[in-house]
Chain A
Amino acid sequence: MVMSYKERSIWVSLAITIYIWFNYFSTIYHSIQSQNLTISIMQSALLSVVIMTVVLEILHHIVIAIIDNKNANYDEDERDKKIALLGANNAYYILSFTTIVAVVHLLFPFMSHHIEALINLPNEYVIINIIIIGALIAEISKFATQVFYYRKGF
C-alpha cells in the first residue's frame, strides 16, 4: 500500500483524535452516572484533552519524521491541498449544523426538555457538550474524508 507522508500523518491524527475524545466522553459519562458532574470536572477533562492533544501530536510528528526522514520536510502538493479542501468542506457542513442545533437548543428549550431529563444535566452542560460533539464529529469527518480520497482517488 503506497502511502504518502501526509496520508500517514492523517491516519495517526485520526487515531489520536478518537483516542483522546473517547477518554473525555468516558470521563463525562462516568461522572453523569455517579451524578457528580461539575464544571470543574469538565474543565479538568478539557484541559487533559488539550495537553494530550499537544503532547501526542508532537510525538506523532517526531516519530513519523524519524521513520520517514526522507520526507520529513515534505511540502503539500496540489493533490494534498485539494483533498484537505474536501475534508474541510465536510467539516464545515457539520459545524454549521452544530451551530444551528446549539442555537435551537438555546432559543427553544422546550424542544429539548426530554434530552435534559434523559441525561439529567443542566442546560449549560448540554450546550457545551453539543458544541464539543459537533466539533469532534467535524474533525473526525475531516480526517475520514481525507483518507477516503487518498485511497479512492477523485
Chain B
Amino acid sequence: MSKKITNNIRRLRFNNDEMTQQMLADVVGVSRQTIVAIEKDKYSPSLEVAFKIAEFFQEPLDTVFQYK
C-alpha cells in the first residue's frame, strides 16, 4: 500500500481557539479552499506552506504532517 501525507490541522485549529480555515489561510497566504483540500488530504502543500503552518501552531513539522 502506498504511503500518503496526512495532517492534524483540523485538530490544531480546534485547539487554537477554534480558529477558522479562513484565518489560517490568511496567515499562511493561501486560499481557504487550499486549506480545505489540505485538511481532507486532497492536496499536499509545498514545504514552505507546511513550515508556515507548523510555525504558526508552534509545533514540529512531523507533529502537523505525517507520512504513513
Q: Mark A residues whose CB is within 8 Å of B.
A: 2-7, 74, 77-80, 152-154
The answer to whether B8 has its CB under 8 Å from any CB of chain A is no
Q: Chain B at the A interface: mostly helix, strand, loop or mixed?
A: loop
| Interface 0/1 of B19-38, CB less than 8 Å to A | 00000000001111110110
Instruction: Evaluate whether A79 and B29 lie within 8 angstroms (CB atoms) in the complex, with A2-B36, A153-B37 already known.
Output: no
| Contact partners of B31 in chain A: CB under 8 A | 4-6, 74, 77, 79-80
The answer to whether B46 has its CB under 8 Å from any CB of chain A is yes
Q: List 25 A-B contacts (CB under 8 A).
A: A2-B32, A2-B33, A2-B36, A4-B31, A4-B32, A4-B34, A74-B31, A77-B30, A77-B31, A78-B30, A78-B34, A78-B45, A78-B46, A79-B31, A79-B34, A79-B37, A79-B43, A79-B45, A80-B31, A152-B42, A153-B40, A153-B41, A153-B42, A153-B43, A154-B43
| Contact partners of A4 in chain B: CB under 8 A | 31-34
Q: Are A154 and B49 in contact, with the CB atoms below 8 A?
A: no
Taken together as a complex, chains A and B put the C-alpha atoms of A5 and B30 apart, in Å, by 12
Residue on A nearest B44 in the bound complex, by CB: A154
Nearest first, the 9 closest Cβ-Cβ pairs linking A and B are A153-B42, A4-B33, A77-B30, A79-B34, A77-B31, A4-B31, A78-B46, A153-B43, A77-B34
Chain A nearest CB, measured from B61 CB (Å): 17
Q: Are A3 and B42 in contact, with the CB atoms below 8 A?
A: no
Residue on A nearest B41 in the bound complex, by CB: A153
Q: Are B30 and A3 in contact, with the CB atoms below 8 A?
A: no
Q: Are A154 and B33 in contact, with the CB atoms below 8 A?
A: no
Taken together as a complex, chains A and B put the C-alpha atoms of A3 and B36 apart, in Å, by 10
Taken together as a complex, chains A and B put the C-alpha atoms of A6 and B29 apart, in Å, by 15
Taken together as a complex, chains A and B put the C-alpha atoms of A38 and B18 apart, in Å, by 66
Taken together as a complex, chains A and B put the C-alpha atoms of A154 and B33 apart, in Å, by 14
Q: Are A78 and B33 in contact, with the CB atoms below 8 A?
A: no
